Amino acid sequence: MKILWSKIRHIGLWAAIPLAALLAWLFFAPCRAPLEGVSFSGVILDNTGAPLRVSLSRDQKYRIHTRLTDIPRAAVEAVLRYEDRHFYSHPGVNPFSLFRAALSMLGGGRRMGGSTITMQVVRLSHNLETGKPGAKLRQMLLALQLEWHFSKDEILEAYFNLAPYGGNVEGLGAAALVYFHKTPAQLTQAESAALMLVPQNPVKRRPSQDNPAFAAAVKRLDQAWSGRTEHAPLRIYGPQDLPFAAPHICAELLERHRDGGVLRTTLSPTLQKRVEGGLRAFASRNTAYGLKNAAALVVHWPSMEIRALAGSADFHDARISGEIDGTRARRSPGSTLKPLIYALALDQGIIHPHTLLLDTPRSFAGYDPENFDGSFRGPVSAAEALRSSRNVPALTLAARLKHPGLYEFLRRAGVEFLSGEEHYGLSLVLGGAELNMRELAGLYAMLANKGVWRPLRLLGSEREETARPLLSPEAAFVTLSMLEDGSTDHRVRSRGGAVLPLRFKTGTSNGFRDAWTVGIVGPYVLALWIGNFDNSSNPLLVGGQVAAPLFVDMAREIAAAEALKDTLGQPAPGLNLQRVSVCAATGDLDTSLCPDTTETWYIPGVSPLKDSGVFRTILVDTQTGLRACTQRKGRTEIRVWEFWPSNLTQMFARAGIRKPPPPPFGPECLEAGQSSGQPPTIAQPKEGLIYRIRLSPEGNQPLAFVAHADAGVRELYWFLDGSYLGSSRPGQALLWTARPGDAVVRVVDDAGRSAQRRLKIRATP
């Protein structure tokens, strides 16, 4: 008996050594996580959770990372019942299953699988070939190690992400999406059971309506589990049926998130399809005219979410370089920045909507801008100048802006400039710097958001960055009101019946390469660009002619599909705004002398108070018709007269409007040195220029002196460094034989009012 116990202890000692070694290996040997190093597909979803695009993983598989908590419990229990009933009780290897499988094979019966779910995870994660005994032993050891280091739920989640489902489809998340266009949680019981069969033989049972082996396996399982012999056929898709929607934004996100994962965007599927369809239809109608490409962006300005983005008219058309994203391309914005100039001018107290601005020829340090139509309109209100996109008023306001100017303001609003402010100068006003559509949409959204700039959002999970107040809410509101023209053609009706005004601005780049329209439709900013990515020009690329009609059409479709409301028609409570009466002709707040008045928005304490001086009272001698300086009872009377500068008087005359000059002063006024009104303004020589002349024995070339004067001025007198040169009428030129040097040019009108300018002349060889 003692010998027997001695042998038992001896055998136990030798058995304990490998057991201890196994335990030491399990405890100390490194064990990687079952999904470590596994790459996953990128999945782009719209804002409803529907897929827009599914990419392949780095190893060219459709494999979507799916959490165990996202898989219905019924589907998990069905898989455990079919694959591994004792999953939660065995240590990774089930000896009873292995023994049963071995007996079946030795007895010549049906081949039965003895692998547990843990062993399958090891085989899939380590890419093991387990047909040989040695490989099978390694699989079992690794399964024990995996169970030692990780929880059952972690292992089960790995199985649902690695299990093969036919072809290059792996994991339940990818299988549900590829074969049924659903998430695992949306699968029906029949669909879930059908997919459960595939991993045991993914080659033979690949899901397809044309695969008899798959259909037979589904039928056998249905009969075994439920007793049914008949069932409705399943609608099965394939990888070729996966969606390829919103291609530009999906390509951008997949490039940005190369590690895969599920990304839920802010894109609205209905708006996206509507925008893409609108651009395709536009290109189809206008291809014969050379208008082949366009891009559009829709931003929900209350949330700053991008709801639709189409970077070209057709992503798949290589002839128009359709894969380029026009919403990110930097292009000349034309006049679309002008509303920001007026907003800054409102904020800095330079204008109110009816302030009189002069649309007349003017030079800015040698820069002589013209309007798009090649004409000038004379005096216009600020609102009219903005809506009709007059260049000189916008440039004049931009030149008067203090801190910040337009460049600094745009930089604060997220615009990335390629050069410094000095490089652009005033050309920035008319599109001299390149912006992209997303930056433009953000600027218009800022106006709708009471002057607060926020970055655009494309992913629902993105954190909103700190907002930047760049304009007062008063200036932002008034600017948008100035963009309304009251036209019935620029109003749309929403599905709920509300009528929405369209507040937009067009733009045309120099050389007719870009046509823009950007504006607000209810809660949306809609931005449109029409042009060519090869930068070719087309005389039809005019914002007001091609982009604006498309903008209105798309705005009408957007409004008709939703119950939209206009929240920008009235100022928010608490804003420092008033409706005041101003002179219709001049915008002056003092309407005592003005025959016609109108109402406008006014920012108390900010908007300008200065009178234009156009309407003045004069004293007229009723007997002589001359202006009097002293009132005489029965002899003089007070009359209201319009004092327009000579250049504007000439423009009125060309338009068929007569603005008669005031009567000349009587002798007694001249003797008294009577002087009132505005001093003359020098039009030539131009400010800031250096004139260059060629010296000639026959005589140097002449230089023209031109000035404009107040109403009633008949003669202007010119002086150069104090020496009298001659006289001219307002608006007419005095020619002077130029000579090199620096001098001061001075002009004096017949009422003694004067202006002067420094003149620089250099000789050229």
Evaluate whether residue 238 is within a structural domain.
no
298 with 306: CB under 8 angstroms? Answer: yes
Of 626, 653, 671, which residue constitutes the final position of a domain? 671
- Distance CA(182)–CA(226), nearest Å, equals 24
Query: Which amino acid type is present at position 184?
Result: P
Whether residues 397 and 539 fall in one domain: yes
Whether residues 360 and 440 fall in one domain: yes
Q: What DSSP line would sit under 405-471, residue for residue?
A: -HHHHHHHTT---SS-HHHHGGGGGGT-S-B-HHHHHHHHHHHHTTTEE---B-BTTPPPPPPEE-S
Return the SS3 of 595: coil
Evaluate whether residue 239 is within a structural domain.
no
433 with 424: CB under 8 angstroms? Answer: yes
Q: What is the pLDDT, as a whole number, of residue 487?
A: 87
Whether residues 447 and 396 fall in one domain: yes
Evaluate whether residue 358 is within a structural domain.
yes
Evaluate whether residue 102 is within a structural domain.
yes
612 with 591: CB under 8 angstroms? Answer: no
Return the SS3 of 249: helix
Whether residues 75 and 147 fall in one domain: yes
Provide the token pair at 370. Answer: 């013209």
Whether residues 626 and 546 fall in one domain: no
The helix, strand and coil proportions of the chain, stated in percent and rounded to the nearest 5, come to 35, 20, 45
Evaluate whether residue 423 is within a structural domain.
yes
Whether residues 542 and 638 fall in one domain: no
- Which range of residues forms the domain containing residue 192? 58-231
- Distance CA(757)–CA(687), nearest Å, equals 7
Provide the token pair at 175. Answer: 């299988």
Domain count, the chain: 5
Whether residues 494 and 356 fall in one domain: yes
Whether residues 211 and 323 fall in one domain: no
CA angle 36, 39, 45 (to 5 degrees): 125
Q: What is the pLDDT, as a whole number, of residue 97?
A: 61
Whether residues 647 and 701 fall in one domain: no
Evaluate whether residue 300 is within a structural domain.
no
- Distance CA(505)–CA(511), nearest Å, equals 19
Provide the token pair at 322. Answer: 């359709």
Q: What is the pLDDT, as a whole number, of residue 175?
A: 95
87 with 117: CB under 8 angstroms? Answer: yes
Of 188, 212, 231, which residue constitutes the final position of a domain? 231
Evaluate whether residue 590 is within a structural domain.
no
E-assigned strands of 9-155? 42-45, 51-54, 62-63
Provide the token pair at 743. Answer: 């001098």
Whether residues 695 and 658 fall in one domain: no
Of 646, 671, 696, which residue constitutes the final position of a domain? 671
751 with 675: CB under 8 angstroms? Answer: yes
Whether residues 85 and 157 fall in one domain: yes
Sequence-distant (≥ 6) Cβ neighbours of residue 632 within 8 angstroms: 621
Evaluate whether residue 157 is within a structural domain.
yes
**Between the CA atoms of 477, 478, 480 and 485, what dihedral angle is there, to the nearest 10 degrees?**
140
pLDDT digits 0-9 by tens, 417-443: 989 999 998 889 999 999 999 999 999
pLDDT digits 0-9 by tens, 635-663: 889 899 888 888 888 888 877 888 888 88
Whether residues 434 and 518 fall in one domain: yes
pTM over 0.75? The answer is: yes
CATH of the domain at 742: 2.60.40.10
Q: What is the pLDDT, as a whole number, of residue 24?
A: 61
Q: What is the pLDDT, as a whole number, of residue 110?
A: 47
CATH of the domain at 146: 1.10.3810.10
Query: Which mean pLDDT values do the consecutive 10-residue runs of the chain (765 residues) have?
Result: 57 57 62 88 94 94 94 89 87 71 50 74 84 78 86 93 94 94 91 90 91 87 72 86 95 91 95 97 94 97 97 96 96 96 97 92 70 81 94 93 94 93 90 95 98 95 84 98 91 91 95 96 98 94 95 96 93 94 93 93 93 88 86 88 84 83 79 68 86 75 87 85 85 86 88 86 82
